[in-house]
């Protein structure tokens, strides 16, 4: 498999992270962000969680601050759209996206997979593509009991230490999710090991994405 590098050590990269729920970005792309930082890439991150209220907002902000501790700059937004009802709130969320477009112009957009089984995730991906039509969009995956895992076409090998930090931070910050059967270290490490096997990652772990359109110069 040919390895293509988006950026190198010392380069600056603007990243827009979009998550429907408070732990989505971390689950889908947390190790990728940590690995970029470990490589000396200067990240400017705009981190947006669309459904976070009360305890979930506190968890989202604390986790994002920890994941982005070494970033060159970061801006964290937590919205209060109703969990589970994103399609029904489509107009309001669309207005929010149009306002976001005027504030950020990222190099990379990290968002949900377009055919994710969760309706909130699908809505967010649809509006991301509708809004950021001239950007590199990488769609991350979220394991869940719906059984909707697919075949990714874009892999980010991550270091074992970055993967372990991702898991440690997830378990530490999202106490509200620990009672869920799927939310544990084995789930996150197991999926990353599988994706690492698929791309022959040097340190055995990888996060996988879906890239619909990529232009190579």
Which tokens sit at 153?
A: 């076409």
CA dist 217 to 118, 137, 214, Å? 35, 16, 10
Which tokens sit at 43?
A: 């990240």
pTM of full prediction above 0.85: yes
CA angle 58–93–135, rounded 5-degree value? 95
Percent residues over pLDDT 90 in the chain? 91
50 contacts 19 by C-beta, under 8 angstroms: yes
- Dump pLDDT digits (tens) for 101-149: 999 999 999 999 999 999 999 999 999 999 999 999 999 999 999 999 9
- Greater pLDDT, 138 or 181: 138
Separation of alpha carbons 35 and 41, rounded Å: 9
Predicted pLDDT of residue 37: 97
Nearest residue to 165 (alpha-carbon basis) of 2, 79, 37: 37
Domain spans in the chain, listed from the N-terminal domain onward: 12-210
**Residue 8 predicted with pLDDT over 80:** yes
Separation of alpha carbons 130 and 175, rounded Å: 34
Would you say domain 12-210 falls under CATH 3.40.50.10320?
yes
Predicted pLDDT of residue 216: 80
130 contacts 36 by C-beta, under 8 angstroms: no
- Dump pLDDT digits (tens) for 15-64: 999 999 999 999 999 999 999 999 999 999 999 999 998 899 999 999 99
Which tokens sit at 184?
A: 């544990």
Give helix then strand counts, H and E, for the chain: 6, 7
Predicted pLDDT of residue 2: 74
CB-based contacts of 22, cutoff 8 Å, min separation 6? 49, 51, 52, 56, 57, 59, 60, 63, 78, 174
Predicted pLDDT of residue 215: 87
Separation of alpha carbons 124 and 24, rounded Å: 12
- Dump pLDDT digits (tens) for 54-103: 899 999 999 999 999 999 999 999 999 999 999 999 999 999 999 999 99
């Amino acid at each position: 498999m040919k390895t293509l590098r988006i950026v190198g050590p010392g380069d600056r990269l603007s990243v827009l992270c979009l998550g429907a729920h408070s732990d989505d970005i971390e689950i889908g792309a947390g190790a990728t962000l940590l690995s970029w930082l470990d490589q000396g890439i200067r990240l400017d991150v705009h981190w947006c969680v669309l459904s976070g209220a009360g305890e979930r907002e506190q968890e989202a902000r604390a986790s994002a601050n920890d994941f982005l501790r070494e970033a060159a700059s970061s801006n964290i937004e937590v919205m209060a759209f109703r969990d589970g009802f994103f399609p029904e709130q489509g107009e309001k969320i669309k207005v929010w996206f149009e306002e976001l477009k005027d504030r950020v112009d990222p190099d990379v957009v990290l968002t949900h997979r377009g055919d994710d089984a969760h309706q909130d995730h699908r809505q967010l991906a649809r509006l991301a593509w509708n809004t950021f039509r001239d950007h590199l969009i990488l769609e991350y995956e979220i394991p869940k009991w719906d059984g909707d895992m697919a075949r990714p076409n874009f892999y980010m090998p991550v270091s074992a230490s970055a993967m372990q930090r991702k898991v440690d931070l997830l378990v530490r910050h999202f106490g509200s999710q620990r009672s869920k059967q799927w939310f544990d270290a084995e789930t996150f490490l197991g999926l990353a090991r599988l994706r690492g096997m698929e791309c022959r990652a040097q340190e055995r772990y990888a996060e996988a994405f879906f890239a619909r359109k990529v232009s190579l110069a």
